Amino acid sequence: MSEHPGTAAKAGTLFLWIITIAAAAGMALAGVTKFTSSEMWTGLFSGWGYPAAFAYVIGFLEVSGALAFLVPRFATYAGTLIALIMSGAVITILVHDSGMQLSIPATNLVVFAAVAFLRRDLRWTPGAGSQG
């Protein structure tokens, strides 16, 4: 028996959605913790030499980016934003030898960048008009 044409493409799309939803949920949760555990995060950001309020900015961008990541037309932009934030996290952890796990932001960087790349053909383009 041979596979139906398009079955692999459907499986790939399903896998991409699973990765997208899982990554967005994890990032949204990470962003929310910047507000729910604000004392811890503002202390960490201050210790790294950033203004304490920067924790709230990052939290807002993480939550906003995670939500936008779920919309295919915005996923490339949101994924790029979060990949940049995760690049900053990786650099901060390396420079400050803070004892925090490097694997989480590094994995997020790769996942968000990969999905941003894979969704690039669906991205919204200013002035492109309604494409369906």
Q: What is the DSSP string of 2-26?
A: PPPTTHHHHHHHHHHHHHHHHHHHH
Burial group, residue 51, by CB count within 10 angstroms (0-12, 13-18, 19+): exposed
- In terms of Cα–Cα distance, which of 74, 65, 72, 60 is closest to 23? 65
Handedness of CA 128, 125, 31, 19 (dihedral sign): positive
- Which tens digits make up the pLDDT trace of 60-88? 999 999 999 999 999 999 999 999 999 99
The residue length of the chain stands at 132
Q: What is the pLDDT of residue 129?
A: 58
Q: What is the pLDDT of residue 2?
A: 52
Tokens 């994890």, residue?
26
Cβ neighbour number for residue 111 with a 10 Å cutoff: 20
Per-residue pLDDT of the chain (132 residues; tens, 9 = 90+): 455 667 888 888 899 999 999 999 999 999 999 999 999 999 999 999 999 999 999 999 999 999 999 999 999 999 999 999 999 999 999 999 767 789 999 999 999 999 999 988 877 677 765 554
3-state secondary structure (DSSP) of residue 60: helix
